Structure 1
């Protein structure tokens, strides 16, 4: 006897109306960008963005996106961002989806008056999707942050 399920866990909470869903997803896109879009923009030489690696200096030195500047999350303030152009959009990244450093940094940049987006997946997904990296160990750098 084959019993059909009576309910779906994925639908336990009813989906939003199409209008509300559209608004939600469009709003989400104003806060994030993905590896593919950033990679294309960098290859085209688009000058309206500044990519900021917010990991610690050692991690940046070992491996980072070639066009990225290093500004560790705990060093973001009015003085350290004084030389960054507010006419450009800051794109922050950290280790990966389990790291909220890029989110915290994006919030700090926004509070300082910058337009900002977060790179979904961080350096982890940048590397997994074949993005170029540079640094003292480049492709051989640790892929993840590890607790010591």
Structure 2
């Protein structure tokens, strides 16, 4: 392993990541606290949104962003997510939003880790008459992401 970087370069790298990234636990805590000026955006397509999305998120696909994002007040802080670590859709959305003049962070882990941590998930269904309804689709936390027997909403990983 090469040690080509200096400690100052490493510190700058990690500080930059923290300015532009957040995680599901921190986003959930911000939503629960009612943090003002904060908008949580699911950037995936309609089918993905309907299948399941983080409770508290708004749905704005990337093609809609140039028209929808400017409707928010200047100074709004956005947090974007897509499917998960293997998808760069949230990164692309972050670029669109930042180019529009807004502050934005990417939620690392995306919807996959939101759901795996047992955080609240809703899905869109239709009743017998075709009316859209929201159904709780929260699932048990994955023991690889949350200690067994501890409610996800009470997890503090001391990050």
Q: Please give the TM-score of this superposition, normalised by the length of structure 2.
A: 0.75
Residue 27 (structure 1) aligned to one of 5, 12, 16: 16
Q: Which sections of structure 2, spanning at least 5 residues, go unmatched?
A: 125-134, 140-159
Shift in Å, 1:18? 1.5
3-state SS of paired residue (1:50): strand
Shift in Å, 1:17? 1.8
CA contact (8 A) 2:119 2:138 kept: no
Q: Which of the pair has the greater relative contact order for Cα pairs under 8 Å at 6+ separation?
A: 1
After TM superposition, where is structure 1 displaced by more than 6 Å over at least 4 residues in a row? Answer: none
CA contact (8 A) 2:53 2:122 kept: yes
- Within 1, Cα distance between the matches of 2:138 and 2:32? 19
The more displaced of 42-51 and 112-121 is: 42-51
Shift in Å, 1:61? 2.1
Shift in Å, 1:48? 2.5
The aligned residue for residue 113 of structure 2 is: 125
Aligned-pair RMSD on alpha carbons?
1.5
3-state SS of paired residue (1:92): strand
Residue 59 (structure 1) aligned to one of 48, 52, 72: 48
The aligned residue for residue 41 of structure 1 is: 30
Q: Which sections of structure 1, spanning at least 5 residues, go unmatched?
A: 1-10, 141-148
- Within 2, Cα distance between the matches of 1:129 and 1:123? 10
The aligned residue for residue 155 of structure 2 is: none
- Within 2, Cα distance between the matches of 1:111 and 1:18? 31
Pick the structure with greater CA Rg: 1
The more displaced of 37-46 and 110-119 is: 37-46
CA contact (8 A) 1:86 1:115 kept: no
